[in-house]
Amino acid sequence: MLKLENITKQIAGRPILKDVSFEVTQGQTLCIVGPSGAGKTTILRTIIGLTNYDSGEILLNGQKFIPQIDNINQGVIGVVFQDFRLFSHLSTAENISLAPRLKTKTTPKEIQAATEKLLAQLGLTDKADLYPFQLSGGQKQRVAIARALALHPQILCWDEPTSALDPDMRDNVVSLIEQLKQENITQIVVTHDLDFAQKIADQTYELAPIK
């Protein structure tokens, strides 16, 4: 489904990614594992189009895919950032409905119905009118997931989804990833937590730091 071939990237003359190649299959969960500083977040930023790469190729369903054009325009790949990046001046419901309001031709009524469905799916119905500062870490993460899902991405990426959570919340993330997998959402999960990766991964890609 999404295939990276020999992606290479330097930042300020220093090699950060070297010949990164992997493929994630429709409906499967790929874990990208590796130590801190190995370039895991940089890979995610590259495939969603937040940063460029120097060489290599990215293919989506066999077609050349240029994230900085194709993903920014079409929202094929969504992301749940490590620190969630919620809009602090918007309520839970507004965080979730903002992108659909800006990006799709859907009517306000349809957007409201879709937002209510996502709130229910993620157990956030009673938090709809609260602001990020009024939410726990796990709740903020669920808002970030709902916000990403609101654009119906084909692929959902997660950056270190267990790092900001209490250990007992980790199992909730495992269940959420499994629940989304049941819905046939393709997922790429970046983590340095091998035990967590083992629980969710169909495939693992190991990213070693460049020597």
Ligand X SMILES: Nc1ncnc2c1ncn2[C@@H]1O[C@H](COP(=O)(O)OP(=O)(O)O)[C@@H](O)[C@H]1O
**Site for ligand X, rule CB under 6 A:** 11-12, 16, 34, 36-42
Residue 41 or 141 having the CB closest to Mg ion: 41
Find which of ligand X, Mg ion, none residue 92 binds, CB within 5 to 8 Å per kind. none
Residue 11 or 120 having the CB closest to ligand X: 11
CB distance 26 to 40 below 8 Å: no
Q: How far is the CB of 28 from ligand X (least distance, A)?
A: 22
Residue 11 or 72 having the CB closest to ligand X: 11
Q: How far is the CB of 118 from Mg ion (least distance, A)?
A: 26
**Would you count residue 141 as binding Mg ion (CB under 5 A)?**
no
CA 107 – CA 186 distance, rounded (Å)? 27
Q: Which of 41, 91, 92, 139 binds Mg ion (CB under 5 A)?
A: 41
- Structure-token match 């290479």, residue found: 8
Amino acid at 199: K
207: closest CA among 12, 46, 27, 93?
Answer: 46
Amino acid at 167: P
Find which of Mg ion, ligand X, none residue 27 binds, CB within 5 to 8 Å per kind. none
Q: How far is the CB of 39 from ligand X (least distance, A)?
A: 4
**Would you count residue 191 as binding Mg ion (CB under 5 A)?**
no
CA 16 – CA 210 distance, rounded (Å)? 7
Find which of ligand X, Mg ion, none residue 39 binds, CB within 5 to 8 Å per kind. ligand X
Contacts of 8 (CB under 8 A, 6+ apart): 15, 17, 18, 19, 20, 53, 54, 55, 56
Residue 37 or 108 having the CB closest to ligand X: 37
Measure the CA dihedral 59/162/132/47, to 10°.
Answer: -10
> Which residues here bind Mg ion, judged by CB under 5 A?
40-41
